């Protein structure tokens, strides 16, 4: 057995407390797996007090001093916001410590800077917990699929929005009701913006796209739509189409006709056929669906949030980083060699569901269809749903694949037609073969 | 970029050909990910000929010489049977080469011997492709969950039997019909024994149990029942119980009342509730469901067999082994420190479905129930299914958890009762909460 590996933990919230607890309660197992015991040398917190559930002499509010202590080998960052986490991590890396972090917002913004510092210091920077909590996603993409070519990653990676959408699907509730219920049950925060507007999912999409396609993708490269406009009517239509609606983080490698490759990273609510494995991922569960050239379709499913599941992912990284300290060697470093350009959303081909209110008179369908056809948006099916009344008829069009640009122009043109009383909803359809 | 990494491939079947093809077609991507190009130095085959799809000068039938060549750094073993694979791998490890293998039968028999040789030579021994083809399972268990405690692993890891059982469920066909169809479509071999009797699933269970519980488990430690006795009637009952039937490889850590821990590894067909994620894994797909203390429930899903998916897993291992050669360092070694004893099947508590033919007269139910109760097997539900006729009535009993020993005694006693005309089927029920 080698000398103890010194660990500093930054942050003592849900996840930090659980990590500290497991390091103590599983000490002998962890030591056997690493080849050396783990020892917590200090825990960085804002408030040093003796009611924090850990020995008070472990606590410190001097993060800078903690991360550069000689007896610290690995720093586990679980503080959350971008700052002071960034400063703490850079301090640790520059002092030659390996780093484990769950900070998706920071990684989606500063992955390049952190990777460079890790590379310079020749230490590990692990972040399995940053995407989809306990579900192994980063390691399968960077290691298991290291010899394959990933085509597309489609993830349900935000538990709050998945809880809300699942509730809307199950109960027929509207968005506001489902959001309120999620808040009461602790699945949505008081200010739910980061979740419901897709910012959290976009940060994770940036991380997934970066590692899947060996290209630096940051949160601002990700196209983003939230779920706030999804209505009970949309779920009615979805059911009629044998679909549900999920907020997807999609990362895709697109090849132009001239062979140019681009990366698309985008977040939006989408219709998903009930037969697709992602459709049955409900409530606060997360899943990541991967399509690769040789492997075909893979899915990783599990709990995407919560103290214990996130701690599991953090501890996996911690054990690997500690093993590397004991045995020599490092895990795979950031790989960004492909440097693919980012595809703008206008170029992205997807299928669309367009729901509109139209006047109930002859020739309407032909007029509507002409607007699609003019912009080479091919229609797969048209359905009239529900009753016709004095406010007209509800028309639902499902298209074949069209670019976002062509579809947007079509929708604008439809809205200008006299016979179209209003375009109520435009949602993409994902997970079908064509 | 470092000097080329020399690769020897043993075996040129479906998987070997695909691996050789991808090494050539993805050469620049693989080199960028590794930091050095891969070069195939030789391919070991039984038949050296110029019609094998690779340059004939790469081929050799002298495996011993190939695996010890100075210009070979990594040996990829894809020959299949235990011998000559074992000899080839040991030769390679003893010569200081890292080894990647997909050979589950060999690993389930000789993992200890191979791990020791790898340890002595301080090289990597990777085998992601040995269980569940392209699905990352070994790496998540050994690395992502390295800081967690696995409680149970339940896998659908044999595509042939899953194809047959899915077909029986979908079409109502009997076992023989479904097997014949699977054979015609290439999903079952001419001699299907290894698949339908559960030997293949047992080898994979041994590998999974070994890594999940840090304990050496070999194929002979695995309790095994095949699917040949499953009938269309069983599927009728399963549907009535809102279940399907799957061949499961289950690895479980059991804690006795005195705190003693044991490992159970077992393979049998089991009823699985339709609401369980494993129930919707159909056809030739594989999935591994993991329950861990901190992570909770995880599932890994994908293609469990086939040339390209298996090649994907092999190449992931190859890239990791090559990176380690370039950067220094090794992947995690075999961890068997826990050395838990194997629990005999008699001790294993599960729920049971027992279907029997009983005489149609008063008091039968009480007589039958008494036999269960005498052995402390608690009954959850009793149903009479179908019509009563001159051959009696069909009675289906679903128990709460009972040990295999208690249930076996109960079934033997039931068979001796005058009112029981025959016990038609005994199948375990897995995947329920209690």
Structural domain count, chain A:
3
Asked whether the predicted pLDDT for residue A60 surpasses 90, the reply is yes
**Burial (0-12, 13-18, 19+ Cβ within 10 Å), A413:** middle
Complex confidence, ipTM: 0.92
Residue A366 falls inside a structural domain:
yes
Co-location of B163 and B242 in the same domain: yes
Query: B184: how many CB neighbours lie within 10 A of its CB?
Result: 9
pLDDT band at A257 (very low <50, low <70, confident <90, very high): confident
Residue numbers belonging to the annotated binding site of A for L-homoserine: 189
Nearest CB to B309; choose among A30, A296, A315? A296
What is the pLDDT, as a whole number, of residue B374? 96
Domain that holds residue A39: 5-133+307-327
| Cβ neighbours for B4, distance < 8 A, ≥ 6 positions apart | B36, B37, B38, B39
Q: Is A206 helix (H, G, I), strand (E, B) or coil?
A: helix
Give residues 338 to 367 of B whose Cβ lies within 8 Å of A. 338
Report if residue A355 sits inside a domain.
yes
Contacts of B83 (CB under 8 A, 6+ apart): none
Whether B32 contacts chain A with CB within 8 A: yes
Q: Are residues A162 and A292 in the same domain?
A: yes
Q: Write down the pLDDT at residue A358.
A: 94
| Between B5 and A327, residue with greater pLDDT | B5
Q: Which of B204, B229, B339, B361 is catalytic?
A: B204
Is B114 in the same domain as B160?
Answer: no
Q: What is the pLDDT of residue B202?
A: 97
Q: Is residue B364 part of a domain?
A: yes
- What is the nearest CA distance from B237 to chain A, expressed in angstroms? 24
- Asked if A401 is an active-site residue, the reply is no
Query: Average pLDDT in the A290-302 region?
Result: 96
Q: Across chain B, which distance is largest between two alpha carbons, in Å?
A: 84
- pLDDT, tens only, B45-72: 999 999 998 999 999 999 999 999 999 9
Q: How many CA atoms within 13 Å lie on the side-chain side of A320?
A: 28
B214: which strand partners? none
- Does residue A106 carry a pLDDT above 70? yes
The rounded Cα B172 to chain-centroid distance in angstroms is 26
Cβ-Cβ contacts under 8 Å for A417 (sequence gap 6 or more): A367, A368, A371
pLDDT for residue A373: 96
Beta carbons of A136 and B147 less than 8 Å apart: no
Question: Any CB–CB contact under 8 A between B13 and chain A?
Answer: no
Q: Pull the structure tokens for residue B100.
A: 């990647």
First to last CA, chain B: 56
**If you measure CA to CA, which chain A residue comes closest to B38?**
A147
Which of B34, B134, B294 is the best substitution to test chain A (most A C-beta atoms within 10 A)?
B294
- Comparing CA positions, the residue from B327, B278, B337, B19 lying closest to residue A34 is B337
A434 belongs to a structural domain: no
For residue B84, say if its preceding peptide bond is cis, omega within 30 degrees of 0.
yes
- Same domain as A190, residue A41: no
Would an 8 Å CB–CB cutoff place B324 in contact with chain A?
A: yes
| In the predicted structure, residue A51 carries a pLDDT above the cut 70 | yes
Compute the distance between CA of residue B304 and CA of residue B132 in angstroms, rounded to an integer: 4
**Mutation target among B40, B295, B316 for the A interface, most CBs of A within 10 A:** B295
End position of a domain, from candidates B259, B294, B327: B327
Determine the Cα–Cα distance for residues B331 and B338; give it in Å rounded to an integer. 20
For A238, B78, B79, B87, B310, the CA distances from B82, given in Å and listed in that order, are 52, 11, 9, 9, 18
pLDDT of residue A387: 79
Q: What is the C-alpha separation between B328 and B339, in angstroms, rounded? A: 30
The whole-number average pLDDT for the span A231-245 is 94
Least reliable range by pLDDT among A393-397, B163-167, B353-357, B389-393: B389-393
Whether residues A28 and A144 fall in one domain: no
Mean pLDDT of B103-132: 94
Is residue A193 located within the same domain as residue A280? yes
End-to-end CA distance of chain A: 56
Q: Are residues B189 and B230 in the same domain?
A: yes
Furthest-apart CA pair in chain A: how many Å? 84
The partner residue sitting opposite A337, judged by closest CB among B32, B312, B330, is B32
**pLDDT tops 90 at residue A349:** yes
The pLDDT tens digits of the residues spanning B171-223 come to 999 999 999 999 999 888 899 999 999 999 999 999 999 999 999 999 999 99
Instruction: Name chain B contacts of A295, Cβ cutoff 8 Å.
Output: 134, 302-303, 308-309, 312-313
Domain of B422, CATH number, reads 3.30.70.260
B249 in the same domain as B382: no
**A231 located within any domain:** yes
B20 CB within 8 Å of a chain A CB: no
Domain contains A332: no
* Confidence label for A30 from pLDDT (cuts 50, 70 and 90): very high
Q: Which residues of A, range 36-95, sit inside 8 Å of B by Cβ?
A: none
Tokens of B351: 């729920």
Rounded Cα–Cα distance for residues A35 and A29 (Å): 10
Residue B330 confidence (pLDDT)? 83
Provide the whole-model pTM.
0.94
Query: Quick check: A322 contacting B, CB < 8 Å?
Result: no
Tell me if A32 is assigned to some domain: yes
Whether the bond between B55 and the residue before it is cis, its omega within 30 degrees of 0, is no
Average pLDDT of the segment spanning B403-432: 95
In chain A, residues with a C-beta closer than 8 Å to the C-beta of B328 are: 328-329
Both tokens of residue A87? Answer: 């400063």
CATH no. for residue B61?
3.40.50.720
Q: Return contacts of A52-55, CB within 8 angstroms, 24+ apart.
A: A52/A12, A53/A12, A53/A17, A54/A12, A54/A17, A54/A20
- Residues of A within 8 A of B298 (CB-CB) are 134-136, 300-303
Which residues in chain B touch residue A328, judged by CB atoms under 8 angstroms apart? Answer: 328-329
Residue-wise pLDDT for A115-168, tens only, equals 999 999 999 999 999 999 899 999 999 999 999 999 999 999 999 999 999 999
**Segment (H or E) for B101:** strand B98-101
Angle between helix A27-34 and helix A307-327 axes, rounded to 10 deg: 40
Percent of chain A with pLDDT over 70: 100
A145 with A174, same domain?
Answer: yes
DSSP B211: H
Coil vs helix vs strand at A147 = coil
Reported as a pLDDT band with limits 50, 70 and 90, residue A363 is confident
DSSP, res A245: E
Q: Residues of A with CB below 8 A from B335's CB?
A: 32-33
With contacts defined as CB-CB under 8 Å, which chain B residues touch A21? none
Q: What is the mean pLDDT of chain B?
A: 94
From A324-333, B33-42, B313-322, the region with the lowest mean pLDDT? A324-333
Size of interface A-B (CB pairs under 8 A): 196
Query: CA-to-CA distance for B290 and A185, rounded, in angstroms?
Result: 27
Compare CB distances from A22 to B214, B294, B316 and report the shortest one's residue: B294
pLDDT score at B306? 87
Residue B78 tokens read as 């894809």
pLDDT for A434 equals: 63
pLDDT for A332: 80
B226 vs A: CB within 8 A: no
β-bridge partners, B379: B399
User: Which residues does chain B have within 8 Å of residue A332's beta carbon, measured at their own beta carbons?
Assistant: 320, 323
Distance CA B76, CA B99 (A): 6
> Average model confidence (pLDDT) for chain A?
94
Residue B434 confidence (pLDDT) = 63
Please indicate, yes or no, if residue A335 is contained in any of the structural domains.
Answer: no
Q: What is the C-alpha separation between B158 and B284, in angstroms, rounded?
A: 8
- A161 and A285 share one domain: yes
Contacting B residues, span 119-148, partner chain A, CB-CB under 8 Å: 128, 134-136, 139-140, 143-148
Is the same domain home to A40 and A75?
A: yes
Task: Compare CB distances from B323 to A301, A315, A332 and report the shortest one's residue.
Answer: A332
> Which residue in chain A is spatially nearest to B143 when comparing CA positions?
A316
SS3 content of chain A, % helix, strand, coil (to 5): 40, 25, 30
Shared domain check, A285 and A215: yes
């Amino acid at each position: 057995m080698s000398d103890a590996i010194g660990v500093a933990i930054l942050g003592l919230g849900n996840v930090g407390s659980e990590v500290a607890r497991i390091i103590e309660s599983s000490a002998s197992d962890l030591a056997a797996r690493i080849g050396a015991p783990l020892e917590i040398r200090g825990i960085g917190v804002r408030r040093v007090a003796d009611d924090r559930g850990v020995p008070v002499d472990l606590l410190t509010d001097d993060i800078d001093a903690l991360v550069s202590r000689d007896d610290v080998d690995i720093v586990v960052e679980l503080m959350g916001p971008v700052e002071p986490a960034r400063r703490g991590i850079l301090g640790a890396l520059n002092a030659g410590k390996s780093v484990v972090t769950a900070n998706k917002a920071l990684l989606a913004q500063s992955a390049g800077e952190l990777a460079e510092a890790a590379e310079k210091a020749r230490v590990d920077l692990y972040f399995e917990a940053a995407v989809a909590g306990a579900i192994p996603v980063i390691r399968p993409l960077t290691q298991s699929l290291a010899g394959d070519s990933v085509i597309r990653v489609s993830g349900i990676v935000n538990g709050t929005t998945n809880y809300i959408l699942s509730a809307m699907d199950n109960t027929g509730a509207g968005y506001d009701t489902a959001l309120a219920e999620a808040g009461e049950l602790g699945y949505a925060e008081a200010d739910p913006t980061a979740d419901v507007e897709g910012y959290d999912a976009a940060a994770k999409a940036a991380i997934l796209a970066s590692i899947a396609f060996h290209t630096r993708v940051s949160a601002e490269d990700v196209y983003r739509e939230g779920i706030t406009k999804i209505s009970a009517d949309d779920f009615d239509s979805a059911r009629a189409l044998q679909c549900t609606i999920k907020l997807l983080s999609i990362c895709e490698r697109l090849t132009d006709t001239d062979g140019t490759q681009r990366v698309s990273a985008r977040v939006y609510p989408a219709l998903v056929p009930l037969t697709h494995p992602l459709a049955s991922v409900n409530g606060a569960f997360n899943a990541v669906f991967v399509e690769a050239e040789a492997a075909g379709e893979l899915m990783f499913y599990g709990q995407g949030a919560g103290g214990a599941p996130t701690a599991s992912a953090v501890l996996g990284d911690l054990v690997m980083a500690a093993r590397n300290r004991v045995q020599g060697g490092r895990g795979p470093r950031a790989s960004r060699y492909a440097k693919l350009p980012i595809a703008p959303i206008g170029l992205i081909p997807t299928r669309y569901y367009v729901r509109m209110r139209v006047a109930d008179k002859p020739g309407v369908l032909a007029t509507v269809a002409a607007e699609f056809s003019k912009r080479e948006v091919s229609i797969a099916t048209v359905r009239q749903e529900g009753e016709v009344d004095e406010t007209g008829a509800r028309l639902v069009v499902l298209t074949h694949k069209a670019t976002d640009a062509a579809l947007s122009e079509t929708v604008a043109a439809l809205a200008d037609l006299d016979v179209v009383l209003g375009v109520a909803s435009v949602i993409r359809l994902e997970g079908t073969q064509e």
